[in-house]
Chain A
Amino acid sequence: MAIREDQNRFRDIVKGKVKEDLRKYVSQGEMIGKREDEYVKIPLPRIDIPNFRYGPKQSGGVGQGEGQPGQDVGDPGEGGQGQAGEAPGEHMVEVELSMEELAEILGEKLQLPRIEPKGHKNIDSLKTKFTGIAPVGPEGLRHFKSSYKSALKRQIGSGTYNAEEPLVLPIRRDMKYKSFKKVNQPQTQAVIIYMMDVSGSMGEEQKEIVRLESFWINTWLKKHYKGLETRFIIHDAAAKEVDEDTFYRTSESGGTLISSAYKLCQEIIQADYPTNEWNIYPFHFSDGDNWSGEDTRLCVKMLQEFFLPNCNVFGYGQVESKYGSGQFLKDLQKEFGEDERITLSQIESRDKILDSIKDFLGKGR
């Protein structure tokens, strides 16, 4: 198909292989989907062809709803008004996607190997897996919504539905039940411990990258481990454990002692996650600045003595920032080289997030 040529051409421009001049118009948009309460973000490069246009923040638009003046309506973004453009009559509908399906796609796209969990490989537990909706089943598994939906369909179909008095009465044959099958499921437990440098040099953009990366890492690991736990540590010169929300919001101005985070992480593991039973995934993100060479040597020592022998894999992601020297990555590279048990990834921009996820998860550990 001719469109493939155009697609490859576009990718080459994004990768900077052709037409350097257009690189400056590459914007890192993203598609946002919503699955229940979780937002799904998929990085999506876009090249803007410059034209004479109004500044986006200056013009407003027309919306619909109960809003009172002053109420936040959210960023209209790309889907907003004024995009009449050239599209022919085209009609798009949003569809939903489960996290599991999403992880499946991710796995295929990045050709990620399946993870081989360690630990209680042999202890399988029989688990009930719900697979769909069936017309028969025990009352305890009656699916309320489907039952009423088919009752409503039947009533409208037979003309007994009265819109004035919207009473829906399911009868025997409207009932729908959740169907299930018994599956053997290996009992595996896993914990991800995210550590992030929140010192002054880590800006909004850097944290956004960490957020996107950790979202995908979570999605992928959740697919393999039911009951995945996550813990969060932030650090500057000192480390503390926080909840997820705080993790992404905090910004400090102090200096940086990476060892403080590693120490706390080690304590958490030792207290809560016996290493012979748990699959452990510590991930650390920073811009690569550490207070001193001495502290870096301390980190290396902890990695060698504790983390690498006890964790499935240790991930270090270095998010490029204007202010960071990026020294820490170099130090780790020198020290550990090709060691399978540690994954080092450099994330220069949002562009590189998917590559970086592949770095992290591509080893199947």
Chain B
Amino acid sequence: MANLTPELEAERKRICQIAKDAGLDCFETIFELITYDQISQFAAYGGFPVRYPHWKFGMEYEHLSKSYEYGLSKIYEMVINTDPCYAYLMEGNAMMDQKLVMAHVYGHCDFFKNNIWFSKTNRKMMDQMANHATRIRRYMDRYGQDTVENFIDVCLSLENLIDRYSPYVEKSVTKSQPPPQEKNYLLKVERDYMRDYINPPSFVQEQKIRAQNEAEEKAQRFPQEPEKDILNFFIHHAPLADWQVDVLTIIRDEAYYFAPQGMTKTMNEGWASYWHSKLMTTKILNDSEIIDFADHHAGTMAMAPNGYNPYKVGIELFRDIEERWNKGQFGREFEECDDVKERKHWDKKLGLGRDKIFEVRKVCNDVTFIDQFLNEDFCVRNKLFVYKFNKKTQKFEVDTSNFKAIKSQLLFHMTNFGQPIIRIEDANFENRGELLLNHLHEGIDMQPDFMSETLKNVYKLWNRPVNIATIMDETPQLFRFDGKEYTQHKLSGEGPSPNPATEESSG
């Protein structure tokens, strides 16, 4: 399948061996040499050669190819997470660039194979995508392109409503728990003779009734627990035709396939950049290529004042971890050391850095990566800051370079991909079969016009009035669409939002 020129094939073999010797552990990786037009097409399809027909791929393609034609940007590297991995090289790039791309790609492939957040990924996604395309084309033949594409539009509008962590949760075999025992709702009695005093019979009775009511209410509640995988809920419970269920299933499968890449963007790019940089400068480059390499590498790592560059933050963090574990700059003794000078020259010559970064690439995702390893020294050294929109000046401005603020801003953007967390609270809201969604508001409002339009798309699936509880302009509000009218009510504190935002785990 691969069609590399003899020179490129020789380099590929050499680089593959170098990567292996350095400890990288990749699936077999197949490189193909393709034209820019093909690169644009594959990139528009999310890296895959075949996808189902939809205008959004055409839009992506138009953007990418225009951007290339007008000389604004070009894609250097693309790799798909499958087994074997597929990666593309662009025809006509300089040899140095091709080597860089290969080294970078081996970094990604090692990451795909070994990071646990990819452990549930379908490695035969190439076939699966082609299969999806066939199914959707068949529906289009049968029901008409517009009908099917319109429905896909609706599904895509909701494609972020999945539970990204659910694939990693082991479903317990016994779903129904035994009913809670009495002592669960009685007050604790330390001394036997106090029993009747602390838990008088009338109180016991009262508690029993309350517990029963609660259990009954819960049994009647549908879904019993708030549901984050809204697409899955619709697949099972929305009034849809068989073909619609299938289309929705396809959209959901693909969303889950891409989710780990979003969850590990900073790590994955950081890891690949770390390795291309290390391997290129120590093993791969010849002397005449070093300047062009430095130029290209610097271009990739550049970080604008208003943009977060995952390549840059990722590579710097991996290097920082390696250095700290080499020197023993971790653990209680180091953390508790207040002497600036001593901290700076702290070097226990432990040499644990290499092992540590391999461990980190195995177990972390972006949230845990930043949470565990981003420290104040790092933020100062890399001159990171938080910017915010200033309503007075109508501009984005530097807000603070406070470490805690930087960290929480990054974590906020990485948790759930910086998207609002929304759950189905009640599918029989007000006992009328209406749907109640709840937005777990974490300080930032949703964009109102997008919210109303998306709610209308939820209606198109549920086919009964739909509601969403959220906070807008510091006021708890309920937005409702009943198929004709979009309305808005203020909520009192006791509103129809039975589960306030609590115990949300971010993994």
Residues of A within 8 A of B (CB): 1-11, 13, 18-19, 22, 25, 31, 33, 40, 42, 44, 46-76, 79-82, 84-97, 101-102, 105, 149, 152-153, 156-158
Contacts and interface: CB of A to CB of B under 8 A. Distances in A.
A166 to B, nearest CB: 13
Contact of B79 (A5, A75, A80, A88): A88
5 contacts: A10-B56, A33-B71, A71-B397, A89-B261, A153-B287
A13 to B, nearest CB: 6
Given A42-B70, A49-B156, A97-B70, A88 B387 contact: no
Contact of A52 (B307, B395, B422): B422
Contacts of A75: 306, 396
B58 A9 contact: yes
B305 A7 contact: no
A31 B58 contact: no
A153 to B, nearest CB: 5
Nearest to A96: B71
Contacts of B290: 153, 156
Interface stretch (B333-341, B342-350, B449-457): B449-457
Interface in B319-357: none
B71 A74 contact: no
Nearest to B68: A95
B301 to A, nearest CB: 10
A10 B44 CA distance: 13
B443 to A, nearest CB: 9
Contact of B307 (A13, A63, A72): A63
B419 interface: yes
Interface in B401-460: 401, 406, 409-410, 412-414, 417-420, 422, 439, 444-451, 453-454, 457
Interface centre among A58, A70, A71, A84, by most chain B C-beta atoms within 10 angstroms, is A84
Given A50-B157, A64-B382, A69 B307 contact: no
Contacts of A4: 58
Contact of A73 (B387, B417, B450): B387
A7 B77 CA distance: 23
Given A69-B398, A97-B72, A6 B157 contact: no
A21 B41 CA distance: 26
A63 B385 CA distance: 6
B58 A22 contact: no
Given A6-B61, A60-B396, A67-B387, 5 more contacts: A9-B53, A49-B157, A61-B409, A80-B307, A90-B77
B300 A93 contact: yes
B76 interface: yes
Nearest to B447: A55
Interface string B150-174: 1001001111110000000000000
B255 to A, nearest CB: 8
Contact of A97 (B71, B255, B261): B71
B258 to A, nearest CB: 4
B132 to A, nearest CB: 13
A152 B292 CA distance: 11
B55 interface: yes
A81 B418 contact: yes
B146 A70 contact: no
Nearest to B46: A86
A51 B157 contact: yes
Contacts of B104: 89, 91
Interface string B355-368: 00000000000000
Contacts of B395: 72
A90 to B, nearest CB: 5
Nearest to A155: B287
B169 to A, nearest CB: 22
B265 A63 contact: no
Contact of A92 (B74, B146, B159, B406): B74
Interface string B48-89: 001001111111011100110111111111111100000000
Contact of B386 (A25, A40, A62, A102): A62
Given A62-B308, A74-B306, A92 B388 contact: no
Contacts of B59: 6-7, 10, 46-47
Contact of B53 (A5, A56, A152): A5
A54 B420 contact: yes
A105 B396 contact: no
Q: Enumerate the 7 nearest inter-chain pairs by beta-carbon distance, A residue then B residue, closest first.
A: A97-B71, A6-B58, A82-B418, A157-B287, A7-B58, A86-B258, A88-B47
Nearest to B155: A49
Tier of interface size on chain B = 35 or more
B484 to A, nearest CB: 16
B399 interface: yes
Given A50-B457, A93-B74, A60 B46 contact: no
A58 B444 contact: yes
Interface string B117-133: 00000000000000000
B26 interface: no
A142 to B, nearest CB: 20
A47 B287 CA distance: 47
A54 B72 contact: no
Contacts of B78: 88-91
A52 B80 contact: no
B262 A86 contact: yes
Contacts of B62: 7, 10-11
B61 A52 contact: no
Contacts of B108: 89
Contact of B50 (A2, A73, A88): A2
Contact of B71 (A59, A92, A101): A101
A62 to B, nearest CB: 5
Contacts of A1: 41
B312 interface: yes
B300 A91 contact: yes
Contact of A63 (B46, B308, B457): B308
A18 B399 contact: no
B217 to A, nearest CB: 28
Nearest to B79: A89
B179 interface: no
Contacts of A65: 303-305, 383, 385
Contacts of B419: 51-54, 82
Contacts of A79: 307
Contacts of A31: 63, 66-67, 70, 72
Interface in B227-262: 255, 258, 261-262
Given A6-B53, A55-B448, A82 B69 contact: no
A68 B398 contact: yes
B396 A73 contact: yes
A73 B305 contact: yes
Contacts of B61: 3, 6-7
A254 B397 CA distance: 35
A60 B389 contact: yes
A33 B288 CA distance: 30
A18 B291 CA distance: 51
B45 interface: yes
Contacts of B63: 31, 44, 46
A6 B74 CA distance: 21
Nearest to B159: A51
B497 interface: no
Contacts of A5: 53, 58
A90 B87 CA distance: 10
A145 to B, nearest CB: 12
Given A31-B70, A157-B288, A91 B398 contact: no
Given A19-B150, A49-B156, A54-B446, A3 B389 contact: no
A96 B291 CA distance: 19
A52 B146 CA distance: 24
Contacts of B288: 153, 157
Nearest to B56: A49
Given A61-B307, A93-B299, A156-B291, A40 B445 contact: no
